């Protein structure tokens, strides 16, 4: 797996620094490679491009398995997209493919095997591989498309003919999913600095992600670890507590030649010091949001916030909720968090999703999912692509196009309260409001409330059995999952029930006998009442 000459030099105490081309030459045909990633965070772009270049020039390495635990790439020209070449990658195991169009196309066209598993499961699997345990045993995924009784996480027809990588088992009389382990032969990690011994620090990174467990998994699988960094320091000069991956786990170091292009902190920026905790940015600098349907959804969602709770925000419309909370001056009343590992601060929206302005603390990606999976989230706000009459939600597959689940399944399964946030229809929808009343300027071309979702990313049946509070918040109506049925509980001022809601649903929801209007205050250009609303809940609790 390692070219003998280079390996001998490294082990003999020589420099671990090599070029990206030399790193690509170390990767043999048929091996499994893994990289920590969230968008472009954690991804060693120069090494990835060198692998693609070598394949195009020599046909090697080929038949690789790629394992990634999160959303990967910038949706156009960076990230694992650069190695998404037919024959180079022939198998994928991971959580999300949407950010790498070439890999998505290979999967959709049955040019590679592809398994999609929940983000927390994948990043936890590295630790199980490193410790040579039996894999991940979890309730995460039961009743969704990753359940082998549904689809087994298989993303295309080609994979449906392949063996399952998980199975349902019974332990202590309860059902679990057993996700089976596999070896990692090459760990591709990233940091800010490496010293001559290969110790890796991450000062400028916006997240630690799972670099350490990936390195441990690769080394204990008999493989190698290659790290891309911006700087190399003299041995012994990095502070011991700044080291995130010890040099004993790192075989080779590649110094990025063009870090501003190929060592980006996120999809949107090379370096924002507020993401890495190097400056505290005034929250007044957060962008102003347009007065439209998205803002209406976000304001209504914010009304679910309470004091002293832990909150998670998903990508899409929900990732701007932190901006609304910041403008309303309530972010210090609760703890916002991201699955990437930031605790506190204000999570950023796309194209910087996964980053956080002014974080209070960073933990590693798998540790965050330890907390999340155990019920550490009080309230989550997530997107919704399709919703059906059973309350199921699909965000992972549309018109046969594989996208993946990311952390959606982990978070919806274990969060104490879940609010799905999205427009009522999609494709050309234009909405405004006047005098506190909603006006549909142009209806969307596609319904989102459908008879049956294309893929079950969230199981309404499973949530109903556990009596978990579930909301579906749109710009014109709010629904709740009540007794296993999607139930209309709020309607926006200015909206007609028959014409604007029921006519654009493939099923008729239950209508609450307590149907009430959505608060008109959220449909005015200026709001400024969120803090007062949250404080009123404190008074209600005190009176109760």
d(CA 251, CA 200): 11
Helices (H), 26-171: 45-58, 101-108, 119-130, 157-160
* Strand, helix or coil for residue 330: coil
DSSP-assigned letter for residue 500: I
Pairing relation of β-strands 437-442 and 401-402? unpaired
> Any idea of the CA torsion for 218, 222, 228, 231, to the nearest 10 degrees?
110
CB atoms within 10 A of CB 241: 7
Write the DSSP string, 161-229: TSPPSEEEEEETTEEEEEEPP----EEEEE-SEEETT--EE-TT-S--TTHHHHHHHHHHTT-EEEEEE
Query: Per the structure block, which two tokens stand in for 210?
Result: 């799972």
C-alpha span between 441 and 439 (Å, rounded): 6
Contacts of 328 (CB under 8 A, 6+ apart): 302, 527, 528, 530, 531
Active-site residue, 210 included: no
Catalytic residue among 339, 386, 475, 490: 339
Residues with catalytic function: 339
């Amino acid at each position: 797996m390692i070219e003998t000459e280079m390996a001998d030099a490294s082990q003999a105490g020589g420099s671990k620094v090599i070029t990206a081309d030399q790193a690509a030459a170390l990767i043999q045909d048929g091996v499994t490679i893994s990289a920590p990633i969230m968008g472009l965070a954690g991804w060693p772009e120069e090494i990835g491009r060198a692998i693609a270049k070598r394949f195009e020039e020599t046909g090697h390495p080929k038949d690789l398995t790629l394992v990634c635990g999160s959303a990967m790439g910038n949706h156009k020209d960076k990230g694992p997209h650069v190695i998404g070449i037919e024959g180079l990658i022939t198998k994928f195991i991971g959580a999300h493919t949407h950010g790498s169009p070439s890999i998505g196309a290979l999967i959709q066209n049955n040019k590679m095997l592809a398994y999609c598993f929940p983000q927390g499961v994948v990043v936890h699997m590295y630790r199980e591989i490193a410790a040579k345990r039996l894999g991940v045993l979890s309730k995460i995924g039961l009743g969704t498309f990753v359940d082998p009784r549904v689809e087994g996480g298989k993303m295309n027809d080609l994979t449906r003919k392949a063996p399952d990588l998980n199975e349902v088992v019974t332990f202590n009389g309860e059902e679990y999913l057993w996700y089976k382990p596999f070896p990692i032969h090459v760990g591709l990690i990233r940091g800010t600095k490496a010293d001559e011994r290969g110790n890796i620090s991450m000062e400028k990174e916006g997240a630690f992600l799972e670099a350490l467990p990936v390195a441990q998994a690769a080394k204990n699988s008999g493989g190698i670890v290659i790290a891309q960094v911006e700087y190399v320091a003299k041995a012994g000069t990095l502070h011991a507590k700044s080291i995130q991956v010890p040099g004993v786990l790192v075989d080779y170091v590649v110094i990025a030649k063009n870090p501003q292009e190929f060592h980006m902190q996120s999809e949107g920026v090379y370096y924002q010091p507020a993401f890495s905790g190097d400056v505290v940015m005034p929250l007044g600098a957060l962008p102003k949001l347009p007065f439209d349907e998205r803002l209406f959804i976000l304001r209504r969602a914010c009304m679910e916030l309470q004091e002293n709770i832990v909150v998670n925000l998903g990508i899409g419309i929900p990732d701007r909720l932190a901006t609304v909370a910041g403008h309303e001056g309530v972010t210090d009343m609760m703890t916002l968090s991201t699955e990437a590992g930031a605790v506190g601060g204000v999570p950023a929206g796309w194209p910087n999703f996964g980053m956080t302005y002014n974080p209070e603390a960073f933990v590693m990606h798998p540790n965050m999912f330890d907390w999340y999976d155990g019920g550490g989230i009080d309230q989550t706000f997530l997107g919704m692509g399709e919703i059906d009459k059973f309350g199921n939600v699909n965000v992972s597959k549309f018109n046969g196009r594989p996208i993946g689940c990311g952390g959606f399944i982990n978070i919806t399964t274990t969060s104490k309260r879940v609010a799905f946030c999205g427009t009522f229809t999609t494709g050309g929808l234009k909405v405004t409001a006047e005098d506190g009343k909603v006006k549909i300027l142009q209806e969307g071309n596609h319904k989102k409330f459908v008879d049956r979702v294309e893929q079950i990313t969230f199981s309404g049946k499973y949530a109903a059995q556990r009596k978990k509070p579930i909301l579906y918040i749109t710009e014109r109506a709010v629904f709740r999952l009540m007794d296993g049925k999607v139930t209309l509980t709020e309607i926006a001022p200015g909206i007609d029930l028959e014409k604007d809601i029921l006519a654009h649903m493939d099923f008729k929801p239950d209508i609450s006998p307590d149907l009430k209007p959505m608060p008109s205050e959220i449909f005015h250009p200026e709001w400024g009442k969120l803090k007062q609303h949250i404080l009123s809940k404190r008074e209600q609790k005190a009176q109760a």
